[in-house]
Amino acid sequence: MDEITHKGRVIAIDPEITTVEIIVEEACASCRAKGLCSLGSEERKTIEVRSSAWRPLAVGDEVEVVLKKALGYKAVFIAYGLPLVVLFVTLMVLGALGVGELYAGLGAIGAVILCYLVIFLFRNKLSKEYTFYLK
């Protein structure tokens, strides 16, 4: 199983892009008691997928949106792992240089903000790498 799949529904079709709405369910969303505990939640997201002339689709069709699992792990690392590493490295370096705890903490937070800013600036390049396809 080298793929991450989500069921979705086609909501718009253009010559180059097909827009699919997927429903992301939490782990307890299928529980019978989710209405009582209010911890289960559903979130609707839209994903743009390149259209294919070989697969005729219509608005409302049920489809499966697929992403390679390795790309999913890479996305998690970029979004969470890399900023965490930046935070700890900055804290350690500033602490070793003798900077006070307050300034080391503020510097580490600033480094994480800078890290997310760099990720934001490279979002178009990253989005080209993360391509979804329909199954």
End-to-end alpha carbon distance in the chain: 14
Q: The pTM is what?
A: 0.63
pLDDT at 112: 97
Q: How far apart are CA 111 and CA 86, in angstroms?
A: 7
Rg (CA), the chain: 20
Per-residue pLDDT of the chain (135 residues; tens, 9 = 90+): 577 788 888 888 887 888 888 876 655 555 554 554 444 456 778 888 877 766 778 888 888 888 777 777 888 899 999 999 999 999 999 999 999 999 999 999 999 999 999 999 998 888 777 777 777
